Amino acid sequence: MILVTGTTGQLGSAILDALTARGAAPLASNRSGQDGTRRIDFDDPDTVSFVGVDTLVLVSAGEAEDDVVIARHETAITAAERDGVQHVVYTSLTSAGDHLAFALAHRWTERRLQHSSLAWTILRNGLYAELFGSLLAWSGDSLGSAFGDGALAAVARADLAEAAAVVAMSPSDHVGRSYDLVGEPITAAQVADRLGVPLHSVSLAEQRSTLAEAALKPFQPAMLMSIFTSVRHGFLDGTGDDLRTLLGREPADTVAVAAATASLPPR
């Protein structure tokens, strides 16, 4: 039996759909346990049971400070060891992402799995093309970017979900493997060209001021600034073939995905 965690999130939901499309009958779990899903809340260890689960797709429980995420993942891995899970597929962060402010919890989780009693596969996911598009801001009919001339080896969320499904349905073929799932580098200028609109550059200082005025969680401004800075200075533009190999096809056009997320300027 395959169980996917965090299925109210976009990646977890997409993995569930990808598994179902491939003929699997995965279990879904989330913090609420609504709509027939299994209630598993990593902040409440008493709810965490993986009895009967052979393959656990552990979707990173991010969106929190490092210590919170680490505690959640420790709860999940400890329960997987206790309950007889055979294989954990973990959605981690691209190898090039060590400069990002949210990398620590991912690397800790990888190390915890590598020293566990479990078989494991680590999916080092590149940043989403959808995220890249959402971080471009409209000013009138012009698209603004704090990415400078930097490029991001972005990936469509659906492609990452499909790659996770491929691994989860045949885990024995991927034991002890870490895959770097990145796409072809894209730039803000390419997205603006695809939308047919002008692009104007925003400095990192201006972007920081914008984030300071936004209604964000305490950890989010630093997290987002680390993305802008890393892309701008060329730390996230590396390519690789792992995604193409797992999918058995060419990945999605991430410029189109980012452009669709950026959408049209507000009226």
pLDDT of res. 266: 64
Asked whether residue 157 is assigned to any structural domain, the reply reads yes
Asked whether residue 171 is assigned to any structural domain, the reply reads yes
pLDDT of res. 186: 98
In this prediction the pTM is: 0.96
Asked whether residue 127 is assigned to any structural domain, the reply reads yes
pLDDT of res. 35: 73
Q: What is the DSSP string of the chain?
A: -EEES-TTSHHHHHHHHHHHHTT---EEEESS--TT-EE--TTSGGG---TT-SEEEEE---SS-HHHHHHHHHHHHHHHHHHT--EEEEEEE-GGGGGSTTHHHHHHHHHHHHTSSSEEEEEEEPPBHHHHHHT-EEETTEEEESSTT-EE--B-HHHHHHHHHHHHHSGGGGTTEEEEE----EEHHHHHHHHT--EEE--HHHHHHHHHHS---TTHHHHHHHHHHHHHTTSS----SHHHHHHTSPPP-HHHHHHHHH-S---
Asked whether residue 86 is assigned to any structural domain, the reply reads yes
pLDDT of res. 267: 56
pLDDT of res. 36: 76
Asked whether residue 74 is assigned to any structural domain, the reply reads yes
Q: What is the CATH number of the domain that holds 210?
A: 3.40.50.720
250 lies in which domain range?
Answer: 2-262
pLDDT of res. 255: 98
Asked whether residue 51 is assigned to any structural domain, the reply reads yes
- Number of compact structural domains in the chain: 1
Tell me the pLDDT of the chain (267 aa) as tens digits. Answer: 999 999 999 999 999 999 999 999 999 998 888 777 889 999 999 999 999 999 999 999 978 999 999 999 999 999 999 999 999 999 999 999 999 999 999 999 999 999 999 999 999 999 999 999 999 999 989 999 999 999 999 999 999 999 999 999 999 999 999 999 999 999 999 999 999 999 999 999 999 999 999 999 999 999 999 999 999 999 999 999 999 999 999 999 999 999 999 976 765
Asked whether residue 267 is assigned to any structural domain, the reply reads no
